[in-house]
Chains A and B, each alone.
Chain A
Amino acid sequence: MGDDHDLKEEGGEIAPFDPSKKKKKKKVVIQDPADDSVEKLAEKTETLSVSEGLESTFSGLKKKKKKQVESSILTDEVGEAGEELEDHIGDDEEGEGIDLHPRYPWEGSDRDYEYEELLGRVFNILRENNPELAGDRRRTVMRPPQVLREGTKKTVFVNFMDLCKTMHRQPDHVMAFLLAELGTSGSLDGQQRLVVKGRFAPKNFEGILRRYVNEYVICIGCKSPDTILSKENRLFFLRCEKCGSGRSVAPIKAGFVARVGRRNAGT
């Protein structure tokens, strides 16, 4: 009995009346050969479940679903997705009229799919199979800047080198930007910390670094921080490693710096 049913599920299937089902079917066909062993396992479970299911179709169906998914551990991820889809086809055949599917709102009705629904479905599948592809890519974790005070007039940026490394940027470049934005002077000390003249809070550095990342690190097209900054005949270019796009970035200019402090030093 289970055999018959399986054949029907895979081979024949005249039932579909909507285009997306065909897609589903394709996927099933692709993973067919690998699935054969699983199918045999599934037969047993199915017969079991059907015999149970005589009492109430609802619980039976549910059980079958679970067991099939369990058996599909043998196959790889793609197989799993396919199997789940297969499940749905099976359910469509059996559970006609009964609305068992909270997952997809269109199932059980003849209406057209809406864009949002299909989009959501695609993203769900993507997320299940390989979560790193879908959703939030903007997980560039940067540790907050650690700042010490050296005396009363100097500030030490302790994890400056770390941050440069996480951003994959030359410390020189980052330093030039920081100093230009802060409007002061500074230098690297013996332990590769940045010493800046003036009193600054960690929050100040954070804001500037954020601007730096937006301007010189993040790729505009795909928002990925995997970029390389290179200098080609006096111009800085940013090339993205993920999507291959490139753009030019503005050179760092300090702009006008007013004279602060005693005047008789220069003249």
Chain B
Amino acid sequence: MNAERRIWGQLRDDPAGLAGLVVVGLFLLVAMAVWLGLIGQDWSAADGARWETPGPDHWFGTNILGQDIFERAIYSVRTAFEIGLVVAVSSTLLGALLGALAGWYSHSWVDGAILWLKGVLDSIPFYLFVAAVAFALQGKGWAMHVAMIATFWTTTGRLVRAEVMKLKTREFVLAARTIGLPDALILGRHVLPNTIHILLVQASIAFVAAIKTEVILSFLGLGVQDGVSWGLMLAESTQEVLAGHFSNFLAASLMLFALLMGFNLLADALQDAFDPKQASQ
């Protein structure tokens, strides 16, 4: 397709965006290797002494239990992608659906109800909401996913609503309505595909937000319940750094930073590539 070709062309001319794409790709490869059981499998084995310094046996040293920090940091790539993908995809789809409904039936009771729900969710302090969801779900591991999806969709929803309201008045949509196609078909076939630029950018922003939120939640004890994540490693490190052990902190924060930076650069590049007005300036 022409539009796709143009966007690839734009991305190719954007070194920062390209770098972001490469970084995200590398991390994705690592995550796949962990999924396939090739690397990072010994993240929970306590086969070292406590707080070993980096060396040939333990590249990044060990933590308080003698677990290998390199293995844990690598395994956490998989955790990050699991959380990021689940939250980004679900919240973006939910936002697309609710935003499209609100926009299509704008100024009706459907729109009013969705806007009200958005207003309510935006008015509850986020971490209190997550904590409450975590408790309502009795400490289930996916409580934080639910909480994030339930709140992250609102931005996507607002943007999609505005875009759908704009698309609704365009000729191709009016034509589809004139020949009597059902609303659901017009929305699914003709309207939502034209919001893909919003959805892709919002999904990458949600990915970043999910990973950052996981860190805070893990520190608060509401995050990853079994397994390991950069958030758990950082939570562990809050005590260690005061005693001068920086391995956990450095390993987790640097990998976290690299992945987030990659995604942010990619999101920016996508935004520029999709925005023809900005691209021409």
**A interacts with B:** no
Residues of chain B at the chain A interface (Cβ within 8 Å): none
Q: Which A residues are closer than 8 A to B by beta carbons?
A: none
